[in-house]
């Protein structure tokens, strides 16, 4: 690759999508500068995968360490981007890189839209996942959940939260609240193995019998549906608590019920029926309401991006170019787009959950990052000829700007010191999986002492 065609690319975000894009672009010979909000790289691979899945996490970490060791990859952790943060989007664009890829995830929380959702004992799934993964700001936060927890949702995130509640909090009961029926559950059958030893099969049998007429109305046989559900309760991990887990199907939460201290005491639920919708079904409210007692509610209903970042934003998403191309992958899908000017934002790209919030997990994000790298490569090839800025110029400008802002970036050497210190605590018992420091200050103090 000639010097003329070598570029500096900034990748904001070091999760699976950002690291995949950075890896592809670095392999193509470009200099890649990674800016990451967290001190540690990994994003959802570090703070989203259930922490006991050490093999999966370990494999990803090895890939990421290998990439960061490359001489044309430059890591700046503990650098946040957004209005009022270490750097604004405009600051990043002004550093002189040929392109900027935003892989900053979906850091906003979808509005739950249920009356009483500010009560004590109401949580968003992401906050709980960050807590048990010890993301700074969440790892040392108390989560008081009581004895009976209702988890709204029927996907893998619901299962992870149930896993934590059953195996580590050891609550008395967990109930998954599902808007549709058993047949429409979204979790991976392999994931349910972590909690199926604790399933209240008798209670689930009664629950399916309760809704059998509504299932029959859309051609679903309750006995067959129940068998399909419970047949997945195989190869279960051994039970480590007496927690019972069940489901409440065809139910939509309408209101959080609270006691005199504004603590959760239950949910007001609406009964639903199923209606055909193409090849699928939709939940339709029956205007019939009932109370469901519980001590805490966790909403596992997805995420949205953070509109305060400063990228073009609309309806929970950053805006991408609506003008499709014939390329594969479609360039437009990854280009940030300013609706006010009606033009793409030059040199600014989106990938992963920043492009499409809550869409898939690590494998999907990795593929998205690789596709984005292809789009960026085409963009760079089409750029006007000229000498791009050097990596030294861009990194020096960045370093000086962060010093002016009194920011405290962490480089690869700092990461290695932190990793060694955390591995020395590997026998610690207060963590699920590997030991992690729960606050940025603890990590920075340790890095500064190296």
Tens digits of residue pLDDT in 210-245: 999 999 999 999 999 999 999 999 999 999 999 999
Closest CA to 347 of 104, 103, 98, 22: 98
Decide if pLDDT at 2 tops 60: no
Contact (CB, 8 A) for 397 and 96: yes
With H, G, I as helix, E, B as strand and everything else as coil, classify residue 9: strand
Decide if pLDDT at 4 tops 60: no
Closest CA to 146 of 299, 297, 298, 295: 295
Contact (CB, 8 A) for 355 and 335: no
Whole-number Å distance between alpha carbons of 263 and 377 = 53
User: pLDDT confidence of 383, banded at 50, 70, 90?
Assistant: confident
Mean pLDDT of the chain: 94
Decide if pLDDT at 384 tops 80: no
Average pLDDT over residues 137-150: 93
Same fold, 3-107+305-410 and 111-301: no
Work out the percent of the chain whose per-residue pLDDT is above 70. 97
Decide if pLDDT at 31 tops 80: yes
Q: What are the residues whose beta carbons fall under 8 Å from the beta carbon of 185, sequence distance 6 or more?
A: 154, 178, 229
Work out the percent of the chain whose per-residue pLDDT is above 90. 83
Decide if pLDDT at 387 tops 90: no
User: What pLDDT score was predicted for residue 184?
Assistant: 96
Whole-number Å distance between alpha carbons of 108 and 105 = 9
Strands of 60-129, DSSP E = 73-77, 99-102, 108-109, 122-124
The CATH number of the structural domain formed by 111-301 is 3.50.50.60
pLDDT digits (tens, 9 = 90+) for 315-336: 889 999 999 999 999 999 999 9
User: What pLDDT score was predicted for residue 347?
Assistant: 97
CA dihedral 310, 312, 315, 316 (to 10 degrees): -50
Decide if pLDDT at 44 tops 80: yes
pLDDT digits (tens, 9 = 90+) for 248-286: 999 999 999 999 999 999 999 999 999 999 999 999 999
User: What pLDDT score was predicted for residue 218?
Assistant: 97
Contact (CB, 8 A) for 8 and 31: yes
User: What pLDDT score was predicted for residue 3?
Assistant: 41
User: What pLDDT score was predicted for residue 385?
Assistant: 66
Instruction: Fill in the DSSP letter of residue 136.
Output: T
In the chain, where are the structural domains located? Answer: 3-107+305-410, 111-301
Decide if pLDDT at 445 tops 70: yes
CATH class of 3-107+305-410: alpha beta
Rounded to 5°, the CA angle 402-407-409 comes to 85
Ramachandran quadrant class, 42 (left: phi over 0; alpha: psi -120 to 50; beta: rest):
left
Decide if pLDDT at 92 tops 90: yes
User: What pLDDT score was predicted for residue 54?
Assistant: 82
Beta partners for residue 149, in sequence order: 174, 296
Of the CA atoms within 13 Å of residue 10, those in its CB half-sphere come to 31
Contact (CB, 8 A) for 245 and 166: yes
User: pLDDT confidence of 429, banded at 50, 70, 90?
Assistant: low
User: What pLDDT score was predicted for residue 303?
Assistant: 80
pTM of the model: 0.91
Closest CA to 390 of 100, 70, 98, 26: 98
Average pLDDT over residues 282-307: 94
Instruction: Fill in the DSSP letter of residue 165.
Output: I
Phi, then psi, of 124 in degrees rounded to 5: -95, 140
User: pLDDT confidence of 111, banded at 50, 70, 90?
Assistant: low
């Amino acid at each position: 690759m000639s010097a003329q065609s070598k570029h500096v690319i900034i990748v904001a975000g070091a999760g699976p999508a950002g690291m995949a894009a950075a890896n592809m672009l670095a392999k193509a010979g470009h200099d890649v500068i990674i800016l990451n909000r967290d001190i540690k790289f990994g994003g959802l691979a570090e703070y989203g995968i259930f922490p006991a899945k050490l093999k999966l996490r370990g494999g990803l970490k090895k890939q990421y360490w290998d990439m960061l060791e490359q001489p044309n990859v430059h890591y700046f952790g503990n650098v946040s981007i957004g209005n009022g943060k270490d750097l604004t989007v405009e600051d990043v664009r002004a550093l002189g890189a040929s392109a900027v890829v935003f892989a900053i995830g979906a850091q906003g929380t979808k509005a739950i839209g249920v009356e009483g959702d500010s009560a004590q004992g109401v949580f968003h799934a992401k906050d709980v996942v960050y807590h048990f993964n010890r993301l700074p700001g969440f790892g040392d936060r108390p989560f008081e959940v009581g004895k009976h927890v209702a988890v709204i949702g029927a996907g893998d995130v619901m299962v992870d939260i149930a896993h934590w509640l059953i195996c580590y909090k050891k609550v008395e009961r967990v109930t998954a609240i599902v808007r549709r029926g058993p047949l429409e559950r979204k979790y991976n059958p392999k994931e349910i193995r972590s909690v199926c030893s604790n399933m209240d099969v008798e209670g689930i049998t009664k629950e399916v019998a309760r809704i059998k007429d509504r299932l029959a109305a859309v051609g679903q046989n309750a006995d067959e549906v129940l068998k399909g559900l419970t047949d997945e309760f195989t190869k279960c991990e051994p039970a480590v608590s007496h927690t019972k887990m069940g489901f409440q199907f065809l139910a939509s939460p309408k209101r959080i019920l609270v006691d005199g201290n504004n603590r959760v005491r239950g949910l007001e639920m609406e009964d639903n029926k199923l209606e055909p919708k193409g090849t699928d079904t939709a939940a339709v409210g029956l205007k019939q309401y009932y109370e469901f007692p519980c001590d805490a509610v966790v909403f596992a209903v997805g995420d949205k991006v953070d509109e305060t970042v400063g990228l073009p934003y609309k309806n929970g998403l950053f805006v991408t170019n609506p003008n499709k191309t014939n390329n594969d992958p479609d360039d437009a899908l990854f280009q940030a787009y300013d609706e006010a000017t009606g033009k793409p934002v030059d040199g600014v790209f989106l990938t992963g959950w920043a492009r499409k919030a809550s869409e898939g997990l690590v494998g999907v994000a990795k593929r998205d990052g690789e596709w984005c790298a292809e789009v960026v490569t085409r963009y760079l090839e089409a750029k006007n000829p000229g000498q791009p800025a050097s990596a030294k110029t861009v990194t020096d400008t960045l370093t000086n700007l962060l010093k002016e802002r009194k920011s405290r970036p962490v480089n690869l050497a700092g990461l290695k010191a932190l990793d060694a210190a955390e591995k020395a605590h590997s026998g610690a018992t207060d963590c699920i999986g590997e030991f992690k420091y729960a606050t940025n200050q603890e990590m920075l103090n340790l890095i500064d002492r190296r």
